Structure 1
Amino acid sequence: MTAVAKRSETGTSTLFDDLREVVTAPDAVRAAALPGCGSGMLLRALVGVHGVLGVGLLFAARNLVNWLAMMSEAATVAVPATLAWLLLVCLGRPLLVKLAPALQTGAVALVGALTTLAAWVPFSRIGLMSNPGANDDWPWLAPALAGALLAALLQQSERWRQRARLPAAAAARLADLQTRIRPHFLFNTLNTAIALVQVDPKRAEEVLEDLAELFRAALGGLDEATTLAAEVELSRRYLDIEQLRFGARLRVDWRLDPAADDTRLPPLLLQPLIENAVRHGVEPSDRGGRIEIVTRRRRDRVLISVTNSVPLGPSKRGHGIGLASVRERLRLMHDLDADFRSGIIEDGRWRVSVGVPV
């Protein structure tokens, strides 16, 4: 039985129960403590390794020119070693995530030592590495230890980063819980269903089924990823309900790329963006408005945009909680690989754009 079903049966779920799920998932924490496989981790790893090397070489450098020369030599080993280490850790992630934290750190450090040696040995053999203080008996000891320690440090920094992100995850979850299904939308939908019972019972049943699916998604967990196809289906149900309310005033244009359907997204990402478009672009205008939802895949990225017309008169300004929640949850799932933008475009319409890796 799922956690959602248990909460539905007991009726005892609270906000604190939902927030507790963010911080009490050992498997998820172990996975998050491992170095990621995106551009954000790559940038942090390269900067971190070169930062530590730069500070360490300051003790041995005679002057600035000598320090730059030593940094150049160190970079010839550090860059390929770091890239190889990150690649191997990413490939071995399914196995590493099953290990206890201590074994996980040891395995990551061992990979760091081996990749550093693999990068250092060729340069040392051809005489490109000047190391006047090297031990003749164990010339490989220093690079191996340096690679292991830097790898362990990077892995530990990801663990600290994960712990620092827990309050942000809880805050994003709280903001999302506050903006899931607005009460007046629920009341309007129920009133619409009541009105349809006498004239079109089948349509009334469909409205209630759509509402049930929306609430099932809204009461579900935020920790597991969903797909873009599922988000589109949920958003269609939401718009079907709003279409009954606004009629011809709500005009929707879907332009979907099937190649993007399997993209991983945080749950309830698309529907709040479309709800904002309805609330601020269609509802305030007597003439209604048009909403355009576009998805497209470009190589290894998927772009999602929700564009709505802007009413001519003044409209009620939102608090931005929904957009902030979407932005934060994208960052928590995709790190620096996620892109989120919102604002007025050239033709005067409002657009929210999301870019995520495939």
Structure 2
Amino acid sequence: MPPINAATIARRALAAVVFNTVIALAITAVSGEAFAVNMLYSQFIGLFIWALIDGGRFVLHPGGGPGAPAMAALVVGSVLLAYPLGSACANLLLGRPLLIGLNNFPRATLGFVLMSLSAGGFGAYYFTSRETLARARLAGEEAQRQASEARLKLLESQLEPHMLFNTLANLRALITTDPERAVAMLDRLNDFLRATLTASRTEAAAGRHTLADEFARLRDYLELMAVRMGPRLRYTLDLPDALSRQVVPPLLLQPLVENCIRHGLEPSREGGEIRVAARQGSAGLELEVSDTGVGCEAEPKAGFGLSQVRERLATAYPGRAGIEWHSAPGAGTRTLLTLPLQTP
């Protein structure tokens, strides 16, 4: 239910005053009585109607609006109660006895009551409809947010086994060719998994995964790969302190780093360098992953990395993030992600 604050109450009171003024003008045109007197009675009675209807709704139904039958009964009861209360207040200000009949305002008492019922019913319907739509919109946004979070969790759960299976496949190949390095790589894998599991639990409890966390995981992974590739793998991680607390989806950059190793550095006898950098650009937060590997003419169609990153960006930042991929034979590959920049 939308929050009720002073601004909301003021808007509703102003709408009630406008309704009351219209009624006073209509009565003056029909009855010929003084507008000031009509206005006084109209405002008192109309504001009592508004207060009783709105107050009754939030007292009797604090969690949401009442149904149509209850709302109709509340409108009728509020009008019938507000009419004598408002009339008594107006009589008091005009120096008349509180219980005096309304001889001058208006002569057609029944007509005024019917008009008040119509105005009260319309106002109640208007505000109730707005709140119902607002609640539906908030419920829809919450459902969409939960669906997006579930989608991100699903994509993350797909990503982590994918990285693990690739690493185990590399480890298996290394066991037969260089057992000593295979043991070192297994030790690194053990450390990496322990650190990743600890970080995942901490971030899940806090509900935040920052660029500092992301770069720490990338460093662990690249150190793991460096055991297998030796001096053929060099890397640079560039994260300015001012951007270290920016929140990003977990493991967003790792598929791109894996692609650099698999498609760029591994096919090259000399290997190469991977550079991951974060910076603030004109369009927001820019995350760049590049390598000096063999490159290629066209974006790889098969595989997991780029498509997974695109899907995660579309889920986490619908319509607000972009990805650019550039590569050329012998010139390496460069991928640039653009995300919304969060203000501190």
Superposition TM-score, scaled by structure 2 size: 0.53
In structure 2, do the counterparts of structure 1 residues 286 and 212 end up closer, same or farther at CA, with 3 Å as the change threshold? same
1:350 to 334, 337, 340: 334
Residue 353 of structure 1 and its aligned partner are, at CA, apart by 1.5
Q: Mark the runs of 5 or more structure 2 residues left unpaired by the alignment.
A: 27-114
Residue 294 of structure 1 and its aligned partner are, at CA, apart by 0.7
1:213 to 169, 191, 201: 191
Equivalent residues of 1:117, 1:140 under 8 A apart: no
Residue 230 of structure 1 and its aligned partner are, at CA, apart by 1.9
Q: Deviations over 1:300-328 (max 9, x none)?
A: 95322212235167899463423333343
1:305 to 266, 288, 292: 288
Residue 228 of structure 1 and its aligned partner are, at CA, apart by 1.5
C-alpha separation in 1, matches of 2:298 and 2:179: 30
Root mean square deviation, CA, Å:
4.5
C-alpha separation in 2, matches of 1:189 and 1:348: 26
2:180 to 172, 177, 195: 195
Partner of 1:264, secondary structure, is coil
Q: What residue in structure 2 maps to residue 268 of structure 1?
A: 251
The 10-residue stretch of structure 1 (343-352 or 320-329) with the greater mean CA deviation from structure 2: 343-352
Residue 345 of structure 1 and its aligned partner are, at CA, apart by 6.4
Partner of 1:185, secondary structure, is helix
Equivalent residues of 2:321, 2:339 under 8 A apart: yes
In structure 2, do the counterparts of structure 1 residues 230 and 218 end up closer, same or farther at CA, with 3 Å as the change threshold? closer
C-alpha separation in 2, matches of 1:272 and 1:303: 17
Q: Deviations over 1:244-281 (max 9, x none)?
A: 43344333233221111122233222222211111111
RCO (CA 8 Å, sep 6+): is it higher in 1 or 2? Answer: 1
**Is 1:186 aligned to residue 171 of structure 2?**
yes
Equivalent residues of 1:114, 1:144 under 8 A apart: no
Runs of 4+ displaced beyond 6 Å = 123-127, 130-134, 189-193, 313-316, 345-348
Q: Deviations over 1:181-238 (max 9, x none)?
A: 21223335767984259xxx9xx4xx55532233236665796542221221221122
Q: Deviations over 1:136-179 (max 9, x none)?
A: 44775344323311211112223543575587456524532441
In structure 2, do the counterparts of structure 1 residues 340 and 125 end up closer, same or farther at CA, with 3 Å as the change threshold? same
Q: Mark the runs of 5 or more structure 1 residues left unpaired by the alignment.
A: 1-107
Partner of 2:163, secondary structure, is coil
Aligned length: 241
Equivalent residues of 1:282, 1:289 under 8 A apart: yes
Larger radius of gyration: 2
Superposition TM-score, scaled by structure 1 size: 0.52
